[in-house]
Structure 1
Amino acid sequence: MPLQALALLRAGVLSGEYYEATNEEGELVGYTMWMPPGQEMFSTEEQKQLGLYEFMAKLSDEAKEYYRTKGKLDSWWLHMAMIRRDYQRQGVLRALLSPVREKAAAAGQYLATCTTNDDNIHVYTGLGFDFKGSTVISSPWGDWPIHVFKMDWKATPVTEEKIE
């Protein structure tokens, strides 16, 4: 799925917000990519031209229908969170969530995300997200579990954390 990831990153940088963490040597150790409330990934022609069409051209008709975007317009939607393996469980992701949590708290908004990886359930709940439920969806690539999370900033206080 490299084309899908590339299309997401390009569109997110154009219309979303991207946060990165580096180590003392300046090496990238993690990043998050968000779409703010009122924005949806690939909702503009310019976003679609940054890789979505290339990705979609490689899909079957069944896969194209499956991949249609859905609205996530009431929350800051976390599309990608990647932390280098040797930096996991060191507070990097928690620190990367902090600036968006602050924005959401100031505006009375929420954070939300989903994952298809069962192992990430404890990661997101450990960060303060509420687990809202799971379902299994059929796709052209097989059945995928979808686990959905929402963070209510009122129930999860913003703390001062720095990215190291």
Structure 2
Amino acid sequence: MTTIVLPSNITISEVKEPTEEMIDQAVKLTNALQVGDPSCKAWTGGNLELLPLLMHAIIKATWLWEGAGITYVATDENGVLVGFSQWLPLGQDLFGSEDRRQFGFDEFMEKMSDEAKKYFAESLGREFPKYLDEAFGIPQSQTKVHFCNLVMVQPEYQGKGIASAMFKMAYEEAKQMGAVVALSTGNEHNIVVYEHIGLTVKGHQVFQSPWGEWPSWAFAWETNPKEP
């Protein structure tokens, strides 16, 4: 991997005990960057007002449930969050227990329409995991890779090596476990970003929903590549 030079005012570190303010900043950033993603319309049953609730549930469950996830945070000289990434290590299922769902996921689901609940269960519960398994060539892949749940960087700080630095940290963590770094994105503009970092497209599929279609590209980064 090439040397990454960050802006002099940026610090990146793993944060295990975030403040509520830091969580709120992460949710606000995620919602702002994700609101135009067509997958979010499908995930929320066409009700984007529920997006902050869903993102809050994902971010909080990953961050606060002990052993569930890893969060890297980029802050400026004033301690303001300018970017973050969240990762699920081997064996972790984000909403695989009632305790984790109580971080906001159950509340989110209660506000969904019956049609949306059914779609969420069928698409994200079955079709999407199947697609990832086929793309990565690994059964139950989301619990057998070092999976990136979210990676977000403020627009004015994009292209300055922040995402690359966080991925490098995740790569080293995954390498110790012998795991593959993996993620999916619904934003076509991210393809060149992830390829530049070192990931490779492993699969692509367009999913249908009552609220419009949404694409996904699956990426992987081998931490122990096989000899040619």
Q: Which AA in structure 2 matches 1:3?
A: L
Spell out the pairing of 1:5-84 with structure 2 (5 A cutoff).
5-13=55-63, 14=65, 15-68=68-121, 69=125, 70=129, 71=140, 72-84=142-154
Is contact 1:12-1:33 (8 Å) kept? yes
2:161 aligned residue: 91
More strand, by proportion: 1
Name the % identity: 37
Q: Normalising by the residue count of structure 2, what TM-score does the alignment of the two structures yield?
A: 0.65
Is contact 1:94-1:127 (8 Å) kept? yes
Gaps of 5+ in 1: 156-164
Shift of 1:97: 1.4
Is contact 1:12-1:41 (8 Å) kept? yes
1:116 aligned residue: 186
Distance 1:77 1:89 in 2: 22
Kindly name which structure, 1 or 2, has the bigger radius of gyration based on alpha carbons. 2
Q: What SS is found at the alignment partner of 1:10?
A: helix
Q: Normalising by the residue count of structure 1, what TM-score does the alignment of the two structures yield?
A: 0.88
More helix, by proportion: 2
Instruction: Compute the RMSD of aligned alpha carbons.
Output: 1.4
2:215 aligned residue: 145
Distance 2:72 2:210 in 1: 32
Shift of 1:9: 0.6
Gaps of 5+ in 2: 1-50, 130-139
1:3-61 deviation line (CA, Å, top 9, x unaligned)? 11011011111221111011222221100011111001101111101111111112222
Q: Give the total of aligned pairs.
A: 155
Shift of 1:90: 0.4
1:140-164 deviation line (CA, Å, top 9, x unaligned)? 4311001111111134xxxxxxxxx
Q: What SS is found at the alignment partner of 2:103?
A: helix
Q: What SS is found at the alignment partner of 1:139?
A: coil
1:128 aligns with 2:128: no
Q: What SS is found at the alignment partner of 1:50?
A: coil
